[in-house]
Structure 1
Amino acid sequence: MLIFQQCRFLLGLSHQVQVSQLQLSAGQHCAIVGANGSGKSALAAVLAGQAQLLAGHAELPARISWVSSAQQQALIEAERRKGDADILDVEVDPSSARDIICRDHQHWSDAQEQQLQQLASMLRLQQRLDTAFLALSTGETRKLLLIKAILQQPELLVLDEPFNGLDVDACSALQQLLADLQQRMTLVLVLNRLSELPDFTQKILYLAHGEIEWQSADAGITALELAELAQLNQLQQAPGPLPGKDRDRFTPALAEQILVRLRQGKVQYGDRVIFQGLDWQIQRGEHWQITGPNGSGKTCLLQMLSGDNSHCYTNDLQVFGYQRGNGESIWDIKQHLGLVSNSLQLQYRVGCPVLHVVLSGFYDSIGLYDQPSALQIQLAQQWLALIGLEAKAKDSFQSLSFGDQRLVLIVRAMVKHPTLLILDEPCNGLDELNRLKVLALLSVLAQSGESTLLYVNHHSEDKIDGIHRVLRMTDYQAPVPDRPVA
């Protein structure tokens, strides 16, 4: 099905990928693992036929589907550009989830509609097919792209981090769906967690420095090979002490003990109530974990606190003592706030060096537009050293892997030791080493008493020491009315 011999590929305008020897037979399902920046996503793009062959011999199947964060980001940006058409006095209807799925099919058959309904039901997206695409959560968008790829009936399906952003139930449903698909198509999965490795996986590729450093034998994966792989992924070191604060430009301390107060919170889009009746109060030093399935309003609630969702003005909400909607400046809020989220990573498209991205955390900007002090530069360099990326300080942020970008945005959020640190799935895209390192860093920050943490995650093993309070969004969801199946 797939053969590479002494191949060199061009990906994008300048990135080259080397593959000396790789062969996959039909039905030989493969997982690609390795550290952040090791080239996993680049290899996945090559296998998906997205690269130009410069040298060597390559054979690929005729029908390939591919799902990745790069695709997700490009699609979101394209839909946002459509939404900007009103500047030209052109009315453009926003694309629905169904529009995105069906747009590449000239004829939509009853059989395809039946399969769509089955897939949507399995991934709990059935009630969202007629929703505007840009109103979907990150996890729902990923499910949508997966359904679209499956409906193309590929011979080879390449999934780059398919479990990223999915809640526990959705991860379980996806595992079951993959088990069903492996009877009909060959699967290649890019994974950061060995716990997500499907039972039917028959080959593993371990990447380092952009090349396949190790691969399992073709006869199947042995217990010894899994042990060797776990050793390659093991944690190498504990985090050191956190860098200090910027004494020259220190954010004034807050007098308020209560950082957030929400009374009878409600978010509604059209006829759909996301959550309602939420009374919530966050006191200084009270760390919270926010749980709930995809689409339950976790990200929406956090965006209300940061001022990135207009529902902050339609609710009785106080943040840092400011009643939202009473003429307060957004910078009054952001100067005390640190933020890590999937949405921020998608928005951070400014071409600038990695060091500037970390420095922008002092100014709450996307890109660096102020002259940083010598102390700020020193502190930013210390934060990069803490996550092992000091050597990439001058590299373009856009040239980093998805996981390394996430690491940089995490220290960007932490660099000013914010009063409130919002962590919306911070470990998405991180390999085993960096995931454990980040969790340890956040545990140190939580126990320091300087920052109050709000934490969203879908993996029970990703624990942050010091977080004991839980807000369950399912307690505030309105019942969803049954709708007839088309």
Structure 2
Amino acid sequence: MKSIKLNNVTASLGSQEQESFFVSRLNWQVESNQHWVLLGGNGAGKSAITATLLDQANIISGTRSCDFKRTEIVSSDLQKQLITAELLIDQDDITDGKTPATLVSELIFQQSNRPFDPQLCQQLINGFSFEHLLNQRLRSLSTGETRKLMLIKALSNCPDLIVLDEPFDGLDVDSCEQLNVILTQLKSSITMIFVVNRLDEIPPFITHYGYVKHGELQQQLANPDNKQRDDLFKLLHLQHTDLTIPSKDTTHAAPELSENVLVRLQDAQVSYSGKTVFKQLNWTINTQQHWQLSGQNGSGKTCLLNLITGDNPQCYNNDIFVFGYQRGNGESIWQIKQHIGYISNAFHMDYRVSISALNTIVSGFYDSIGLYQSASQTQLDIAAQWLALLGLSEFKNTPFTQLSFGDQRMLLIARAMVKHPTLLILDEPCLGLDEANRQRVLLLIEKICAAGTSTVIYVNHHAQDKIAGIEHYLDMADFRGVEKGARL
């Protein structure tokens, strides 16, 4: 069985004129008769990973091996190279050079040492209604016609592996249908790797799914079941959604704060039965200053958060300033909690009421487990907007307890955000989630940070769960909160 193997590969793509893009820690094996699709946002690195697979990148570390003898690629980058080369020929022609312009037929039928399938070539020409273009100059073709040319040439060259990077771009409806028919016909003889942005363009014969983000192949699914595929598609829905945080309910919002400082702890200490959990902890959280709080199990992360929320009685033994109040000066617990949105694994375990997905989000307006008040139409509309953002609108009336664990977690994060809290505390939000749902949660947090409506504290003990937009770090190492000057 033929295969291409990439073992812990780090590679760069680019030139002196272009900024390099890096592919990191790439472990990927593609075998004959597998058909892959790579999914991810724009700029995630899908094309860079396929270029690395085909040995078109500068491998910095790791190893690559390949048993496939004939590989082809159809991509926008290759299309640009083809057109650029023809422009140079045209310039030569203008300056009385002797290089003739290239005809379409020459590109398709030019002799090479590679096998060529004339019958398949003619089938593609007929299917794409391409016959009348064979004697045209390459430069006279439209973008869609150039893409058809590349597909005809690449598939007719009898590859045993082909990368099809957005193969349907620029094709009309009939041509897309014809291409699907031919690819289905060839699936038993050619290993195919697709890069697509639209989920409805994924061929039905795909056997393997890959999810790409930040130049890493973060998830690989072999013959996934419906749930695994649905979780991945929900992640992609969120990734491709232009995030507009639904507006707040102005009749049910916390008062605006006059100070930039949200939380300040000075020499904070917590002890139980003579054992110090942490001590000498100084921490100031300013508006729109997103933090990642990390530490080993038992280092006091949740304990520290409970000082802020008021759920730890030792908050009154410490010098703590929260949301304009100095702790212990007569403030109520609700004056503090009206500014906080909160989600943790423990809270998720406690949220066992069978209200609908919509009302689960609405309950965030009232900081309740379950909904015991009549929601306003404004609140219902805002909750519906959150469901749409998460790709869960179809589950609007589904009881919370009947949803998957990952969907429940996304709802509870929306519940914590729905009132636009001054401070959003996400305590180990990825705990218990599979890879696709972990990525969904991390992406949602990233989008919330970018929206600029709440200050975020993200708590975890996995350094690799880094989130764009979080630039401040607190580590509970040695049972003391020590702000780190560098990233985790």
TM-score (norm 1): 0.50
Q: Which has the larger radius of gyration?
A: 2
The TM-score with structure 2 as length reference comes to 0.49
